[in-house]
Amino acid sequence: MAETSKKNPMDMVFASVTGIASVTVIIFIIGILYVLIAESSLAIKQFGVIKFLTSTDWDPVKNSFGALTNIYGTVITTILSMVFAIPVAIGIAIFVTEISPNVLKGPIGIAIELLAAIPSIIYGMWGLFTLSPIMSTYIEPFLKKITTGIPFVSILFQGTPMGIDILTASVILSIMIIPFTASIARDSFNLTPSVVKESAYAIGATQWEVVKNVVIPYSKLGVFGGIVLSLGRALGETMAVAFVLGNNHRITTSLLDAAATITVTLANEFAEADTDIYLSSLFYLALVLFVLSFITLALAKFFLLKAERKYSRG
Amino acid sequence: MTHERRRKIEGIIALTFSTLAAFLGLFWLVFILGDVLIHGVKALNLGLFINDPAPAGVDGGGLRNAFIGQLMITICATLIGVPVGVLGGTFLAEYARGRTIARIISILADIMVSVPSIVIGTFIYAVLVKPIGHFNGWAGAFALAIIMIPVVLRTTEDMLSLVPWTIREAAFALGAPYYKVITQVVYRAAATGILTGILLSIARVAGETAPLLFTSFNNSFYSLNMNGPISSLTVTIFQYAMGPYDSWHSQAWAAAFVITIFILLLTITGRLIIKWRYR
């Protein structure tokens, strides 16, 4: 192919045009990084790196800004939603690949894909109008009741159940990431060669033992990659949590309190920032989020590529 | 209890749990979709599509400005994003096939697909809103295009890679230069796949809200001017749902209904085409 491309001048043109189009991806990544650093330079100069990342100040009136409350909110909602989502997602993958009769495989696969296609704003709005009242009237008072008196655990459920809090936001986030994790886990499970599974069955293993001792160990790298990928997505999710998290710049120990994530802060305050340092601090937050999610996603890609290589060899 | 019995019971418990998990997934889908359908259909009426918003707090009015604005932003984003994505994917699958640069760009595009969309919004704000001095529709379209490009690029690359190399050799043997082979042979063979990728990428960006919040912003008046702030369905949903009025809430449900149906139809069409073509 190399020879033909050198002979014809039109071909050179087409090759360069397509080449430029593909390089835009690199340009965007470098461009985003450069622009965010440039725009946040004012805040970087004023607050530094360590101080900004560890300060809990977020005070537009006094023009004093720190990212810790936002980072805390992001991390806690992400971790909680992963805790809720991973078992369900892996359960779904096991069901679809091993248990389900063939008639059900199609519909459940489609259901997972549709769940993934619903835009995040719909999740957010549904969370605000439907899930949040359910959480505040039934689930949160119930959790409060059963945990009162248990040391440490009861701290998590202090305060009035309002439905606009970390717990509700995490539940919505978990519903959103279940399909991503489930579909990657399913694809990884499907790659287990049937010969390996059949030999386990032949020595008398039960269906669950085959899943536990053969399928999961065989596909753990891919599943892990899928989990990290969903983590990266959860970190940067905005609209699903913006409705139900409140926008509270405080570090709270109770899951029934409002909080703020980096994304929610950006969504709520970016268009209203009235001073240069305020806007610059918001860009700084965006930079932190970009770096954080880029590293997570790159790690996920690394694991998935490693898994791919392993399967194609084995 | 014998060892065998215990193994069996353990198996039954574990498999029951994964079955329950699968039905929990289905449950959420039915719950969310059902809710959007019920509330949406109730709030749907012709006035929604032909009227502009009433003053805040006053009943009635519609979302014509948001429907038109959403359409314009999405179409412009598609017109920018699709050519760049398809051409970029062509480079990776054809001219740079097997080279390191193709692998690097392909991996970076995969990462770009999942980069937080709100970060792209802040980037576009700095590049296309701040220097101009006001929010504008083009900025929104560019933000969506940036999200679209890696999606289209990756599917195009994959679809072109599926076209057997021998088909290209047959065309080379007739003396065709590579660009003719690509545009007249390879593109035709992969057309359905590329089209599906485009459909799915439109479905992906049509529901995006975060990158529009501070690029195209919002506009409560009917506007076709892409150089000024322009309304979109998603940002309107955000504003109306968070707002205090019941009439706003029901219009937000109606808008959510329309956008969900649109996106699910696109997604299902895309999946059906894949199923029918690449079995």
One domain, residues B150 and B260? yes
The Cβ of residue B9 has, within 10 Å, a number of other Cβ atoms equal to 12
| pLDDT class of B33 with cuts at 50, 70, 90 | very high
- Please compute the mean of the pLDDT values over residues A195-207 and round it to a whole number: 91
**H-helix or E-strand spanning residue B270:** helix B246-277
Give the ipTM. Answer: 0.93
B39, B103: one domain: no
Model pLDDT, residue A6: 54
Q: Are B78 and B171 members of one domain?
A: yes
C-alpha B245: how far from chain center? 30
Taking residues B242-268, report their average pLDDT. Answer: 93
User: Tokens in use for B223?
Assistant: 């506007």
The sign of the torsion formed by the CA atoms of A124, A129, A130, A132 equals positive
Are B136 and B96 members of one domain? yes
Q: How far is CA A93 from CA A99, A109, A120, A180, B21, in A?
A: 10, 10, 23, 11, 9
Do B38 and B70 share a structural domain?
A: no
- Check residue A113 and give its pLDDT: 86
**Which residues in chain B are closer than 8 Å to A216, comparing Cβ atoms?**
none
Instruction: Specify whether B36 is located in the same domain as B53.
Output: no
* Chain A CB contacts of B95 below 8 Å: 1, 5, 15, 18-19
In this prediction, residue A314 has a pLDDT band, given cuts at 50, 70 and 90, of low
Element (H, E) at A58: strand A58-59
**A chain contacts of residue B242, beta-carbon cutoff 8 Å:** 128, 243
Closest-CA residue of chain A to B82: A21
Query: A22-52, pLDDT tens digit by residue?
Result: 999 999 999 999 999 999 999 999 999 999 9
Q: Do A267 and B260 touch (CB under 8 A)?
A: no
Cβ atoms of A91 and A98 closer than 8 Å: no
Domains of chain B: total:
2
Number of residues that this document lists for chain B: 279
Which band of pLDDT confidence, cut at 50, 70 and 90, is reported for residue A109? Answer: confident
How do residues B183-201 score in pLDDT, each as one tens digit? 999 999 999 999 999 999 9
Residue B61 gets which letter from DSSP?
B
- Percentage of chain B beyond pLDDT 90 is 74
The answer to whether residues B189 and B234 belong to one domain is yes
Q: Which residue has the higher pLDDT, A192 or A35?
A: A35
pTM attached to this predicted model: 0.93
Three-state DSSP at B197 gives helix
Q: What percent of chain B has pLDDT over 70?
A: 99
Which token pair is B215? Answer: 């690029």
Query: pLDDT at position B149, please?
Result: 96
User: Which of A13, A26, A207 lies closest to B105 in CB terms?
Assistant: A26
Q: What is the mean pLDDT of chain A?
A: 90
Class of residue B17 by CB neighbours under 10 A (exposed 0-12, middle 13-18, buried 19+): middle
pLDDT tens digits, A214-231:
999 999 999 999 999 999
Q: What is the pLDDT of residue A98?
A: 87
Closest CA to A117 of B201, B88, B273: B201
Sign of dihedral through CA atoms A191, A194, A199, A204?
A: positive
What average pLDDT score do residues A293-307 get?
Answer: 94
Nearest to B11 among A5, A87, A207 (CB): A207
Alpha helices in chain A, H assignment, sequence order: 2-7, 9-47, 50-54, 68-94, 102-117, 120-126, 132-134, 140-147, 166-190, 194-202, 207-210, 216-236, 239-242, 262-269, 276-313
List CB contacts (< 8 A) between B119 and chain A.
32, 36, 236, 286, 289-290, 293
- Enumerate the domain spans of chain A: 46-313
Residues B240 and B136 reside in one and the same domain: yes
Contact between B277 and B189 (Cβ < 8 Å):
no
Q: Predicted confidence band at A296 (pLDDT cuts at 50, 70, 90)?
A: very high
Taking CB atoms and an 8 Å cut-off, how many pairs form between chains A and B? 286
Does residue B66 sit in the same domain as residue B146? yes
Where residue B210 sits, what CATH number does that domain have?
A: 1.10.3720.10
Q: Which residues of B touch A19 (CB under 8 A)?
A: 91, 95-96
- Residue B185 DSSP code: I
Pick the more confident residue, A159 or A312. A159
Which of the two residues, B179 and B274, has the higher pLDDT score?
Answer: B179
Query: Please, which pLDDT band fits residue A198 given cuts at 50, 70 and 90?
Result: very high
Q: Distance (Å, rounded) from C-alpha A224 to C-alpha A310?
A: 14
The rounded distance, in Å, linking the Cα atoms of B275 and A129 is 36
Helices B64-90 and A9-47 cross at an angle (nearest 10°) of 120
Task: Give the chain B residue whose CA is nearest to the CA of A282.
Answer: B122
Range of the domain at B138: 49-277
Q: B266 and B46 in contact (C-beta within 8 Å)?
A: no
Q: How far apart are CA B37 and CA B18, in angstroms?
A: 28
Q: What is the mean pLDDT of residues A54-72?
A: 91
Residue in A35, A39, A293 nearest the CB of B116? A293
Do B145 and B37 belong to one domain?
no
Confidence of residue A313 (pLDDT cuts 50, 70, 90): low
**Residues B197 and B127 grouped into a single domain:** yes
pLDDT reported for residue A5: 46
CATH architecture of A46-313: Orthogonal Bundle (1.10)
